[in-house]
Protein backbone atom coordinates (compact mmCIF):
# COMPACT_ATOMS: atom_id res chain seq x y z
CA UNK A 1 0.00 0.00 0.00
CA UNK A 2 2.81 2.44 0.85
CA UNK A 3 4.52 1.69 -2.46
CA UNK A 4 1.34 2.50 -4.35
CA UNK A 5 0.96 5.79 -2.50
CA UNK A 6 4.57 6.72 -3.22
CA UNK A 7 4.18 5.89 -6.90
CA UNK A 8 0.95 7.88 -7.09
CA UNK A 9 2.62 10.86 -5.42
CA UNK A 10 5.61 10.62 -7.77
CA UNK A 11 3.31 10.42 -10.78
CA UNK A 12 1.40 13.50 -9.57
CA UNK A 13 4.61 15.51 -9.13
CA UNK A 14 5.90 14.49 -12.57
CA UNK A 15 2.57 15.36 -14.16
CA UNK A 16 2.51 18.77 -12.44
CA UNK A 17 6.05 19.56 -13.56
CA UNK A 18 5.32 18.49 -17.11
CA UNK A 19 2.58 21.11 -17.30
CA UNK A 20 4.93 23.98 -16.43
CA UNK A 21 6.06 26.15 -19.29
CA UNK A 22 9.74 26.75 -19.80
CA UNK A 23 11.55 30.05 -19.67
CA UNK A 24 13.82 30.71 -22.62
CA UNK A 25 16.82 32.94 -22.14
CA UNK A 26 19.37 34.22 -24.60
CA UNK A 27 22.44 36.38 -24.52
CA UNK A 28 24.21 38.29 -27.22
CA UNK A 29 27.59 40.00 -27.41
CA UNK A 30 30.20 41.06 -29.91
CA UNK A 31 32.03 37.86 -30.83
CA UNK A 32 35.16 39.80 -31.81
CA UNK A 33 35.45 41.56 -28.42
CA UNK A 34 38.08 40.26 -26.02
CA UNK A 35 36.11 39.86 -22.80
CA UNK A 36 39.27 39.03 -20.87
CA UNK A 37 40.28 42.69 -21.03
CA UNK A 38 37.14 43.75 -19.11
CA UNK A 39 37.19 43.56 -15.33
CA UNK A 40 34.34 45.82 -14.17
CA UNK A 41 30.68 46.21 -15.16
CA UNK A 42 27.53 48.11 -14.33
CA UNK A 43 23.99 48.20 -15.68
CA UNK A 44 22.98 50.47 -18.54
CA UNK A 45 20.54 52.81 -16.75
CA UNK A 46 18.40 53.66 -19.79
CA UNK A 47 18.05 49.97 -20.62
CA UNK A 48 17.03 49.05 -17.07
CA UNK A 49 14.46 51.87 -17.05
CA UNK A 50 12.83 50.46 -20.21
CA UNK A 51 12.42 46.94 -18.84
CA UNK A 52 8.69 46.37 -18.49
CA UNK A 53 8.68 44.46 -15.21
CA UNK A 54 7.44 45.35 -11.77
CA UNK A 55 10.10 46.55 -9.34
CA UNK A 56 10.27 43.23 -7.48
CA UNK A 57 10.94 41.19 -10.63
CA UNK A 58 13.34 43.83 -11.93
CA UNK A 59 15.38 43.60 -8.71
CA UNK A 60 15.34 39.80 -8.92
CA UNK A 61 16.57 39.89 -12.52
CA UNK A 62 19.33 42.34 -11.69
CA UNK A 63 20.38 40.26 -8.64
CA UNK A 64 20.58 37.14 -10.82
CA UNK A 65 22.71 38.95 -13.40
CA UNK A 66 24.94 40.37 -10.65
CA UNK A 67 25.44 36.92 -9.15
CA UNK A 68 26.36 35.47 -12.54
CA UNK A 69 28.73 38.33 -13.37
CA UNK A 70 30.41 38.06 -9.95
CA UNK A 71 30.82 34.30 -10.39
CA UNK A 72 32.62 34.99 -13.69
CA UNK A 73 35.07 37.29 -11.89
CA UNK A 74 33.64 40.69 -12.87
CA UNK A 75 33.27 43.45 -10.28
CA UNK A 76 30.48 46.03 -10.23
CA UNK A 77 31.91 49.57 -10.40
CA UNK A 78 30.77 53.18 -10.82
CA UNK A 79 33.08 53.69 -13.83
CA UNK A 80 32.88 50.29 -15.52
CA UNK A 81 34.73 48.78 -18.44
CA UNK A 82 31.44 47.52 -19.87
CA UNK A 83 27.72 48.14 -19.50
CA UNK A 84 25.14 45.37 -19.17
CA UNK A 85 21.81 46.02 -20.87
CA UNK A 86 18.68 44.10 -19.88
CA UNK A 87 15.93 43.36 -22.38
CA UNK A 88 12.81 41.41 -21.46
CA UNK A 89 10.38 40.15 -24.09
CA UNK A 90 7.19 38.72 -22.67
CA UNK A 91 4.52 36.98 -24.65
CA UNK A 92 1.18 36.03 -23.24
CA UNK A 93 -0.42 32.99 -24.75
CA UNK A 94 -4.13 32.38 -24.40
CA UNK A 95 -5.79 29.15 -25.43
CA UNK A 96 -9.43 29.43 -26.36
CA UNK A 97 -11.71 26.50 -26.83
CA UNK A 98 -15.09 27.61 -28.10
CA UNK A 99 -18.30 25.70 -28.40
CA UNK A 100 -18.13 23.00 -31.00
CA UNK A 101 -20.55 20.58 -32.51
CA UNK A 102 -19.79 17.01 -31.66
CA UNK A 103 -21.92 14.95 -33.94
CA UNK A 104 -22.71 11.31 -33.69
CA UNK A 105 -24.49 9.12 -31.24
CA UNK A 106 -24.13 9.06 -27.52
CA UNK A 107 -25.18 10.72 -24.35
CA UNK A 108 -25.68 14.50 -24.66
Q: How far is CA 6 from the centre of its chain?
A: 31
Q: Quick one: pLDDT at residue 28?
A: 79
Mean predicted confidence (pLDDT) in 55-76? 88
Q: Quick one: pLDDT at residue 71?
A: 92
Residues 6+ apart with CB under 8 A from 61: 51, 53, 86, 88
The reported pTM is 0.58
Give residue-wise pLDDT tens across range 5-37: 767 676 666 655 555 555 667 777 788 888 888
Pairing of the two strands 40-43 and 75-76 = parallel
Contact 83, 41 (CB under 8 A): yes
Ranges 7-11, 90-94, 99-103: which has the least confidence:
99-103
Contact 41, 74 (CB under 8 A): yes
Amino acid sequence: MKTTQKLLMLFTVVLALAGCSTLRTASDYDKTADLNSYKTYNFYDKGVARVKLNNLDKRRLMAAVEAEMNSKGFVKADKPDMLVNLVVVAREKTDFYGPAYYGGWGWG
